[in-house]
C-alpha cells in the first residue's frame, strides 16, 4: 500500500522506507521556529535540561521571529524580547528578526516563507499552533509546546504519532466573490472544531491548485481550527517558483502515491460555496454572509497570519475603493514586507494605503499579530468592551480579541470589507 | 506516577480553548521566576465566561481573589478540551494552580501532548460525558491502575479510557525522561 504526502515526509525524516498512521516515530527536524510569547519559556527549559552552557543542535535550523507583543508599553513583553536577544547572541543564531531593526519582520507564519524557511518535503515545528500554515509549501508543519521545542533545540528530533490523512478536493476555479477563507470556513463548518483531531488535512483538486501561494497558506492556516495536526498541499510549479525565489537551499518534494490510503475524501464544487462567516464564539459556527445580513457591527479588522497578507489587502481594497466605512476599520499588515506592499501596490493608480485612508480606515504603523489575540490592553485594534467585530483572523473564541464580552465574526477580506462599508454583515457580491 | 488522585471537581463545558484557560494578555510573565510564575496560577481559567465557570450553576471562581492556588484539583471537561493556541502556559497555569488531573471526553492534540510531554498532569479521557454527572465541588477519586473515576459525593464510579501510547511518557515523567530512555539524550 502506498503513502500519503504527510506519511512520506515523516517516513523520510525517521529514516524509514515506510510508516503507517498510528506509528510512533522520532523524526529529524529541518526548522524549529519560536517567537516572543513561547521563546522565553522554551529557552528556560532548554537551559534547565541541557545546562547553562549548552548549544542548540544546529544554529542554521533555529529561527526566532518576535511578532506577538511588539507595539505595546507592557514592560514584561519588552523583557521577553530581551530574553530572545540575549539567547540569540549567546548562541550566535543567524535567523533572528529583531524588533526595532531593519530585519524586523512581523507575524512568524508569513515571515517564514518570505525569508525562505519553508521548503517542500521538510519538517517544520513551531511553538505556535498556526505553524500548520507552512503546509502550503508541501511540507509537514505543526505547532508544539515549549517543552517539545526545548527538546528539539537540544537534539534536533521529536516523537510524532503518524496521523491519518483526510483529503479535501475542490473542483473548479474560485468564483470572483470567493476566497480561500470561504473554503476553509466551509470545511470547518462541515466537520466541526474537532473534526480533524490529530489528522492531516490534505487539500487538492484543480480549485486548490489554481490558488496563489498566499491563498493556499490561508487554507492550511486554519486546519488547527478543525483540530488538524497539519495541513498539506501538493507541490506544483506555483510552489516551486515561490520557494526558489526565496531560497537557494535544495529540497525534495513529495507526492501522494497513487494507492495512498486516506481516512476520508470529501469533494466540493467551488461554485456551490457561498461567502461564509463563522459566528461567535467558535470557528465551526458556520453561516453565510447572506444569512447574517443586517447584523450590526462596531468594528472590522483586517490582519493576522490568516488575513493580513498582501493579497488579502488587495482584495479588501478592491471593495473599499471609493467607499467610506461605517464600522471602525483596522488594517494591520502581517509583516513589514506586506506593509511595503501596501505603499507600493496600486489599484487604478491609487496605492492600497491611499484607498484605505480615503475609506476612513485606521492603519497600523507596525506589522505584528496585534489584536488577533487580544494582547496587552494598549494593543492596536483590541476589543476592550462588548463590541461586535468582523475579522479576517482565525479564531473567535470568547475573549480571543480582548474582552470576553465582545463578539467576533470571521470572514474573508472581501466580506469584511463589504461589511465595513455598510456597518453590518454584507455579502461581498453587493460590491463586486 | 501516583496511583490514586483525589480532589475536588471543577466542571467546565465543551471546546474550552487555551485563551480561556489563560488569556493572551497574561502570557508575558516569566515561567522561570519562582515568584512571578505564580501569576499564571492566579489567572488560570480567568478567560472562561462567568456563566460557564464551574458548572452546573456557573459563576464559581477557579482561583480565589488574591491567591494562585485553586481549591479544585480535578477538572471535568467535555469535548475538545484545550483547543486553540499551542501555548504550553495553559497546562502549566493549571498545574501552578494545583490541578492534578483532567478528565474530559476528548482533547485537542497539542494541549494533550503538552500536558503529557511537560509532565504537568494526566489528561484522562472519559468513556461517557461526565458534565451533569459531576458537579463543581464534588469529591472525586481517580484510580490510575484501575482506570476509574469515582464521584465520592454521589457514590458513582465511571471508567476512563486506557492511556495507550502516552503511558510510557507519563511513567517516565515527561518527554525529556522519555528521550533519555530512547537514548537521544545523555542522562
Ligand atoms: S496573527 Fe494571530 S493567529 Fe497568527 S500567529 Fe499572530 S496571534 Fe497567532
Sign of dihedral through CA atoms A365, A366, A367, A371? negative
Predicted confidence at residue B165, as pLDDT, reads: 87
Say whether B85 and A127 touch across the interface (CB within 8 A): no
Please tell me the residue having the least CA distance from ligand 1 atom 4. Answer: A305
Of A129, A155, A282, the CB nearest to B185: A155
Predicted confidence at residue B186, as pLDDT, reads: 77
* Phi then psi dihedrals of residue A106, to 5 deg: 115, -150
What is the spatial distance between Cα B124 and Cα B157, in angstroms, rounded to a whole number? 15
What is the spatial distance between Cα A286 and Cα B43, in angstroms, rounded to a whole number? 31
Q: Which residues of B touch A (CB under 8 A)?
A: 15, 17, 19-20, 23-25, 27-32, 47-49, 79-80, 83-89, 91, 106, 108-110, 113-114, 117-119, 165, 174-176, 178-179, 182, 184-185
The pLDDT-based confidence of B133 (bands split at 50, 70, 90) is very high
**Region B4-21 average pLDDT:** 97
pTM of structure: 0.97
Q: What residues 186-205 of chain A have any CB closer than 8 A to a CB of chain B?
A: 193-194, 197-198
pLDDT, tens digit, 9 for 90 and up, residues A302-320 = 999 999 999 999 999 999 9
Q: How far is CA A227 from CA A137, A159, A294, B129, in A?
A: 20, 19, 31, 20
User: To the nearest whole number, what is the mean pLDDT of chain A?
Assistant: 97
Predicted confidence at residue A258, as pLDDT, reads: 97
Cell of A108: 512568524
Cell of A153: 533545540
Higher pLDDT, A365 or A275: A275
Chain A residue closest to B183 (CA)?
Answer: A155
Chain A CB contacts of B32 under 8 Å are: 40-41, 44, 48
What is the spatial distance between Cα A266 and Cα A186, in angstroms, rounded to a whole number? 12
Chain A CB contacts of B172 under 8 Å are: none
Contacts of A351 (CB under 8 A, 6+ apart): A342, A343, A344, A345
* Phi then psi dihedrals of residue A348, to 5 deg: 45, 45
The pLDDT-based confidence of B55 (bands split at 50, 70, 90) is very high
Q: What is the DSSP string of A287-346?
A: EETTTTTT-B-SEEEEEHHHH-SHHHHHHHHHHHTT---SSEEEEE-SBHHHHHHHHH-E
Predicted confidence at residue B187, as pLDDT, reads: 63
pLDDT at A22 over 80: yes
Chain B residue closest to A156 (CA)?
Answer: B184
**Region A255-263 average pLDDT:** 98
Report percent pLDDT > 70 for chain A: 100
Predicted confidence at residue B185, as pLDDT, reads: 85
- Angle at Cα A288 formed by Cα A286 and Cα A291, nearest 5°? 115
- Beta bridge partner(s), residue A363: A331
Of B17, B114, B176, the CB nearest to A145: B114
Question: Which residues sit with their C-beta closer than 6 Å to ligand 1?
Answer: A 68, 107, 109, 128, 130, 304-305, 369, 372-373, 393-394
Amino acid at each position: 500500500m502506498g503513502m500519503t504526502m504527510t506519511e512520506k515526509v515523516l517516513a523520510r525524516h525517521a529514516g524509514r522506507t515506510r510508516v503507517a498512521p498510528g506509528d510512533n516515530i522520532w523524526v529529524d527536524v529541518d526548522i524549529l521556529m519560536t517567537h516572543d510569547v513561547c521563546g522565553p519559556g522554551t529557552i528556560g527549559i532548554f537551559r534547565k535540561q541541557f545546562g547553562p552552557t549548552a548549544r542548540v543542535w544546529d544554529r542554521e535550523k533555529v529561527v526566532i521571529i518576535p511578532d506577538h507583543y511588539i507595539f505595546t508599553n507592557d514592560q514584561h513583553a519588552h523583557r521577553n524580547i530581551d530574553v530572545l536577544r540575549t539567547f540569540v547572541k549567546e548562541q550566535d543564531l543567524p535567523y533572528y528578526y529583531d524588533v526595532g531593526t531593519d530585519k524586523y519582520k512581523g507575524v512568524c507564519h508569513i515571515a517564514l516563507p518570505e525569508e525562505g524557511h519553508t521548503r517542500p518535503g521538510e519538517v517544520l515545528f513551531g511553538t505556535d499552533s498556526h505553524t500548520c500554515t507552512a503546509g502550503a509549501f508541501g511540507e509537514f508543519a505543526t505547532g508544539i509546546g515549549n517543552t517539545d521545542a526545548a527538546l528539539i533545540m537540544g537534539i534536533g528530533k521529536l516523537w510524532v504519532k503518524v496521523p491519518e490523512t483526510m483529503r479535501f478536493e475542490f473542483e473548479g476555479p474560485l468564483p470572483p466573490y470567493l476566497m480561500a477563507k470561504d473554503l476553509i470556513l466551509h470545511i470547518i463548518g462541515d466537520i466541526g472544531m474537532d473534526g480533524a483531531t490529530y489528522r492531516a488535512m490534505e487539500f487538492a483538486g484543480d480549485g486548490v491548485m489554481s490558488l496563489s501561494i498566499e491563498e493556499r497558506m490561508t487554507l492550511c492556516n486554519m486546519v488547527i481550527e478543525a483540530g488538524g495536526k497539519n495541513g498539506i498541499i501538493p507541490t506544483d510549479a506555483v510552489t516551486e517558483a515561490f520557494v526558489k525565489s526565496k531560497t537557494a537551499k535544495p529540497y525534495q518534494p513529495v507526492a501522494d502515491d497513487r494507492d495512498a490510503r486516506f481516512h476520508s475524501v470529501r469533494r466540493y464544487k467551488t461554485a456551490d460555496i457561498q461567502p461564509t462567516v463563522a459566528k461567535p464564539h467558535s470557528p465551526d459556527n458556520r453561516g453565510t454572509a447572506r444569512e447574517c445580513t443586517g447584523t450590526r457591527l462596531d468594528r472590522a479588522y483586517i490582519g493576522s497570519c490568516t488575513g493580513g497578507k498582501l493579497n488579502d489587502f488587495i482584495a479588501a481594497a478592491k471593495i473599499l475603493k471609493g467607499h467610506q466605512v461605517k464600522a471602525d476599520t483596522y488594517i494591520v499588515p502581517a509583516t513589514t514586507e506586506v506593509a511595503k506592499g501596501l505603499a507600493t501596490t496600486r489599484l487604478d493608480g491609487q496605492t492600497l494605503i491611499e484607498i484605505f485612508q480615503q475609506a476612513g480606515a485606521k492603519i497600523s504603523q507596525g506589522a505584528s499579530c496585534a489584536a488577533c489575540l487580544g494582547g496587552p490592553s494598549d494593543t492596536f485594534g483590541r476589543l476592550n468592551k462588548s463590541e461586535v467585530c468582523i475579522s479576517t483572523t482565525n479564531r473567535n473564541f470568547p475573549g480571543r480579541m480582548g474582552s470576553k464580552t465582545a463578539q467576533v465574526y470571521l470572514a474573508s477580506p472581501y466580506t469584511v470589507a463589504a461589511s465595513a462599508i455598510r456597518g453590518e454583515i454584507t455579502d461581498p457580491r453587493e460590491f463586486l | 506516577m501516583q496511583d490514586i488522585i483525589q480532589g475536588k471537581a471543577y466542571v467546565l463545558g465543551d471546546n474550552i480553548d487555551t485563551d480561556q484557560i489563560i488569556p493572551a494578555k497574561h502570557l508575558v510573565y516569566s515561567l522561570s521566576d519562582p515568584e512571578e510564575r505564580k501569576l499564571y496560577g492566579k489567572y488560570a481559567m480567568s478567560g472562561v465566561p462567568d456563566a460557564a465557570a464551574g458548572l452546573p450553576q456557573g459563576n464559581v471562581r477557579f482561583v480565589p481573589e488574591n491567591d494562585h492556588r485553586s481549591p479544585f484539583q480535578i477538572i471535568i471537561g467535555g469535548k475538545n478540551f484545550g483547543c486553540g493556541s499551542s501555548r504550553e502556559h495553559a497546562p502549566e497555569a493549571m498545574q501552578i494552580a494545583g490541578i492534578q488531573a483532567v478528565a474530559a471526553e476528548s482533547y485537542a492534540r497539542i494541549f494533550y501532548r503538552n500536558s503529557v510531554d511537560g509532565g504537568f498532569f494526566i489528561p484522562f479521557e472519559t468513556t461517557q460525558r461526565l458534565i451533569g454527572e459531576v458537579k463543581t465541588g464534588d469529591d472525586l477519586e481517580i484510580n490510575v491502575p484501575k482506570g476509574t473515576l469515582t464521584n465520592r459525593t454521589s457514590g458513582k464510579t465511571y471508567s476512563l479510557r486506557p492511556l495507550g501510547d502516552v503511558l510510557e511518557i507519563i511513567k517516565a515523567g515527561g518527554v525529556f525522561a522519555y528521550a533519555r530512555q530512547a537514548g537521544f539524550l545523555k542522562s
